[in-house]
Structure 1
Amino acid sequence: MKLGNVVKSNSHCDYIVQLDDSMEVSSPPLPDEYGFGSFVKLETQDRHWAVGLIYNSQLFNPAYLNTGPRLVSQPDPFFTPDLIRETRTLLWTVLIGTLEHQDDRIYGCQGIPTVVVPVNTPVFCMADLEIHAFHRNRDLQSQFCYYSHLLGCGGVFASQLTEQVLAQVSPLFEGSDRRALEILRKELCWKHTMGAMR
């Protein structure tokens, strides 16, 4: 499912995505498909650019606090302008790595991508299989190397975002891998709780 396109960047690993709406596509994304902590991939038909996480959103409405003249509620048969809604939904996305293809395998290269993602690059939701593959390295061992990067670049909700991502990712694994991710999540939750009590 395509969500929208890159319109701006705040830094090398912090991008803003403008969500597609009903004026641009026949089936715009549903709110459940681009929620807080959703995994996305930035790619074109020719190239995969990066994997990211939605960490914030903003509703843009130019009509808010507009003090200009307004139209009356009763339509005038001689004057019926076509009004276009200029409201937009913007998604803040932190880049956390790339998906690499080797033979018939897909694995993740986690960390800050080295390339600059171009403006207008399409952004898509990631399937569970892709999320699972991203959390495996070249040797198909589980990995979560972007932990500190997420805490530093995830905005004001960084710890909540990291905790939610760990809760989302751990069920994709089994055995010791799952236990390690759950321990990491509980430790972060404990630090977050103790920090709030100080």
Structure 2
Amino acid sequence: MVSSYLKAHPSYQYARDVVEGKLTAGKYVKKACCKFISDVHNPDCEFFIDEDELKKIDGLTKLINMATGLKAGTPTHDALAPFQWFFLVNALCWKYKQNPIKRRYEKSVLLIGRKSGKSFLVALIFILLLLIEPEYSEFYSVAPDKELSSIVKKEVEQTITASHPSIQKQFQITRSEVRCLLTKSKFIPLANSENRMDGKHSLIAVA
């Protein structure tokens, strides 16, 4: 049985509205939404939405603020578009019933136009992971050159700086990386032209 909490969540409502034709979406998005709704309602599905994780993310996004744009200063919880919530929940909250520490999806792909909030969404995901993943986790963003790779780090820095003091105090920002003091985890931007992933024990890497 699907909880009232999940049914009221923007991610579920987005999927439902796409499936019911209330929102226009491409065929692959429609397929993803249909599968989401089907699996959520299927008691025999081998995966489940980890509502404890989702509630944790909901709570953190109420303290993590938008740094720029028309919604600057607004909690990301309220500023995220429904499709962004859908992507976030799919990437982070689906787990194996037989192994709840393992996420369902090892790869998540987001294809949207320029200036549509990709860098911000990736930055938000990194901030959340720095706070909720096991201690000493390592996260990397990879781009063709250092300048492009630093865009995500800049978004991470700006978002942390704009957020509630209880979030700000959990991080240490240096020229080369962002460290979470709470979990001792770190985020580092890399450039394909300068860096290799050899020897790096990454938990999450974004390219």
Q: Could you say which TM-score interval applies, normalised by the shorter chain?
A: 0.3 to 0.5
Q: Which structure has the larger Rg?
A: 1
Q: Give the number of the structure with larger relative contact order, counting CA–CA contacts within 8 Å between residues 6 or more apart.
A: 1
Select the structure that is richer in helix. Answer: 2
Pick the structure with more strand per residue: 1
Q: TM-score, normalised by structure 1?
A: 0.33
